[in-house]
Structure 1
């Protein structure tokens, strides 16, 4: 099996070195999975631009989607990262646990995580029930498009970690 190591700053392009510096300033470290993206000369900049683009989803909704998609895709790295980020965005431990189980006591958030899980599990070929509930809870077609884009963002990272298996540099997500 091919072993992936995390590239150091000196092993990546000059453009990626600048991004590493910016991540270090913003986060205090360069997450291992972002460093792996830097194997591509343009990949890290491209991904961060996509990831940080404006969306109709709130930061909290994005974190819920990130966590449930990572759960469905069995990505321990992203589950671990989004448990930390979920808490920073106001979720309690109980709420994060529920999201990983594809549920929420909040009916609107429940519709969002249910649809996100359905889209992820079924590669977009979803049940009409989850889509109807999404719209009944006040979400719009704009939100649906942004949800799909958020799922694609997280799925890319999930696949990257599931393939490379680089070391998780966040507190390890417990099983559910």
Structure 2
């Protein structure tokens, strides 16, 4: 259960209302992490702006693929909250169930190409402490991706490094929409995902 009560969405400054409506229409829900950050609107605005630039807008990389990179990063870091959000978002943006089911066999599965393998190796190596990214990974990345695409990829990993720490520390509650998707997909059974710290009715808005 979240360690801090959610802020009241209805009490947010006017500038957030339209943005929340857009996110809710796209996702089907508002992430509870946003409602926690709403206690500090300048931080919420900064995160929303960065998230839009890094992963929500059209970019140099396919949006579904960016969410797969984010999932790989969050899974490596151990953030149960972000794992569920990222893999469900990858599905929403067109990644097939077949690929989602094979993600942890990416090194050998014929469903993934060498560029994707290099990207996932980067996500895993960049998401441990100390950082384990090698020059060899970058040699492989540059065979498949432009500098623009690599910067976008690293930005996705960095963005979720921040969010992993936020949501793990605050034990942000998962929303019903994401929990339902995870149950239908069988995320726990397939990957060992354990949302225990992110369950429970969120406390009433403060």
Give the structure-2-normalised TM-score. 0.72
> Contact (CA 8 Å) 1:16, 1:38: kept in 2 or not?
no
Gaps of 5+ in 2: 193-206
* 2:155 match: 149
* 1:28 match: 28
The 10-residue stretch of structure 1 (41-50 or 124-133) with the greater mean CA deviation from structure 2: 124-133
Q: What is the CA–CA distance in structure 2 between the aligned matches of 1:88 and 1:38, rounded to whole Å?
A: 25
The 10-residue stretch of structure 1 (78-87 or 18-27) with the greater mean CA deviation from structure 2: 18-27
Q: What is the CA–CA distance in structure 1 between the aligned matches of 2:160 and 2:48, rounded to whole Å?
A: 12
The 10-residue stretch of structure 1 (70-79 or 126-135) with the greater mean CA deviation from structure 2: 126-135
* 1:39 match: 39
* 2:116 match: 109
Q: What is the CA–CA distance in structure 2 between the aligned matches of 1:112 and 1:161, rounded to whole Å?
A: 24
Which residue, out of 88, 91, 106, partners 1:87?
91
RMSD: 2.4
CA offset digits 1:22-67 (Å, max 9, x no partner)? 4334433212122122121122222122112164222122111111
| Aligned residue pair count | 174
CA offset digits 1:72-126 (Å, max 9, x no partner)? 1111111111221111222223422433566453222111111121122255452
* SS of 1:82 mapped into structure 2: helix
* 1:62 match: 66
Q: What is the CA–CA distance in structure 2 between the aligned matches of 1:135 and 1:35, rounded to whole Å?
A: 38
> Contact (CA 8 Å) 2:64, 2:91: kept in 1 or not?
no
Give the structure-1-normalised TM-score. 0.83
Q: What is the CA–CA distance in structure 2 between the aligned matches of 1:55 and 1:70, rounded to whole Å?
A: 21
* 2:76 match: 72
* 1:6 match: 6
> Contact (CA 8 Å) 2:61, 2:152: kept in 1 or not?
yes
* 2:127 match: 120
Gaps of 5+ in 1: none
Higher RCO by CA contacts (8 Å cutoff, separation 6 or greater): 2
